[in-house]
Amino acid sequence: MKLFKHRSKNRHLSLLVLSSALLLTATPVQAADVVQPLQTYTYDLLQRDIERLAAAYPGLITYKSIGKTPFGREIYAVKLGKGEPSITINGSHHAREWLSTNLNMYMLDRYAEAYSRGGGMDGYNVRELLDKTSIWFVPMVNPDGVTLVQYGSDAFPDWYRGELVRMNEGSSNFKRWKANAQGIDLNRQYNADWANIQYNIPWRNWYNHKGDAPEQAPETKAMVAFTNEINPMASLAYHSSGQILYWHFHNRAEHLARDTRIAGQVSAYTGYFLVRPTASPSGGGYTDWFIQQFGRPALTPELGKFVGDAELPLSVFPDEWNRNRPVGLYMVQEGFKVWWNSTPTEPFNQRIYVGVDVGMFTDPTWDHNADYRITPQNVNAFEKKGNWYNIRTWVGDQWVHVPNAYPAITPTPVQKRVALTATASLYSAPFEPFKSGAAISPQTVTVFEEWNGWYHIRTWAGDRWIIAQAGGTETPVPPPPPATTEKKIALTQVTPLYERPSPDALTKNAVTPQTVTAYEVRDGWARIKTWLGDRWIQL
């Protein structure tokens, strides 16, 4: 049997009236425009917006502190996405370059919004991409330094203000400040040819003091520990200014073609000048260390036209955002390729249960929009790579991303009605991680399968599982009227497939014009066999 790639992937039925027999409840998400980037973006705004984003996008955005500054400010890392391979993006290593925090946070906000509406951005399917990958943002590596630039020495204890002025060469205007509040330049602190850093100032100063040893500053220690912990596949470290792009630090010969290609594409997106490699680059930077430590692509884009020892004006942000809008998506796509090509494929040969609707890919490193999808079902997997599984299908071997794979289930078909005595949460699969966030109130429901203490029921939103409740009364469902069997039906047009004989059970697949065998015909519907299992067509 041939299946047609149903192109209307977002086709759904709008139900204006819900059945009074089945009530669904869910918490609405308020998610639009959390981050307002056209303002001086402070540490307090950062904290507030991170909390709001995590509340607006539960399950998609999480955050944690990866360390504290010398003056007790938290260094936050924010995770966007659901996949195993990740990249990291950071900003504000240098205090006066705080506009890079605006960019980090707005990128986080816009990507999350695109994911939630299921839409694309600059040719990337954001949901498909962030279901299989994650981006870790550290939007403000240097909160003490940023606070000093934005508020001056009044934001610090009385006893320390004189020391800040001394490190600023007698000036109480801190707008040019690059270092952390201890006078250590954080982007000269990483252990990448640290001993040979050029133009070092040997005492604590507002700029260019590399410290007494690599990874001396708490902020640098936190970044090193965090990066080793998450093991990212690529990195972006945003700075300012100059509209230039650093990408090379003694890159390994076997990675040079890959890294040159990636840097060239980011340069094409942003219009930034690609800095040519030199024989003796000055090291100590985060991306210098990342390239040396992991052998993976890392870039340092410098936002805005060169302004010297000063902050970038907020007026440049719209243009810089437009230049960099697709860059995070491109880099996480490339990071996934790095992960895929470096992760061994293991023999598997097991039957597993896929608990959610997932896309299928011939080659996940290139197919960024799934042409075919499968609904929750048992599948035969013969290879695995991380939490990806290679399965046999009628269109050939296909890879599916299954973060929570369980052994195949064997539900028992039943026909009964059960009176629920309490509100029941709905699940897309009969396992705890597949809780949907919706629920039904106490009522009588029709059960068509049961397995291991779970009931499979029909709802207006599709088939869902609930946990069987103690004390509920059960009554049998009368059998359906006799069905016509073994009937040949000639289809003259592309015909959508349904999970059950109901207009609200439309799937994302269809069959091309052909003759099919119907094993059950009733009320204008016919049940046919497909590689997805039994499906219904409307006559």
Question: Would you name the residues annotated as active-site residues?
Answer: 302
Give, as one character, the DSSP assignment of residue 113: H
Residue of 471, 476, 474 whose CA lies nearest to 421: 471
The three-point CA angle 100-102-104 to 5° equals 70
| Token pair 């197919």 in the structure block, residue | 367
In sequence order, what are the beta bridge partners of 134? 81, 86
Q: Work out the angle between the directed axes of helices 99-116 and 317-324 (0-180°, nearest 10).
A: 50
Q: The tokens of 537 are what?
A: 């067509």
Q: How many CA atoms lie within 13 A of 221 on its CB side?
A: 9
- Reference 445, options 409, 421, 429; nearest CA is 421
Please state, in angstroms and rounded to a whole number, the distance separating the CA atoms of residues 144 and 219.
Answer: 10
d(CA 349, CA 355): 18
- Enumerate residues 6+ apart whose C-beta is below 8 A from 458: 445, 446, 448, 500, 502
Sheet holding 396-401, edge to edge: 372-374, 358-361, 396-401, 388-393, 377-385, 346-354, 406-407
**Closest by Cα among 47, 155, 153, 139 to 93:** 139
Closest Cα partner for 301 from 281, 318, 285? 285
Token pair recorded at residue 163: 């020391």
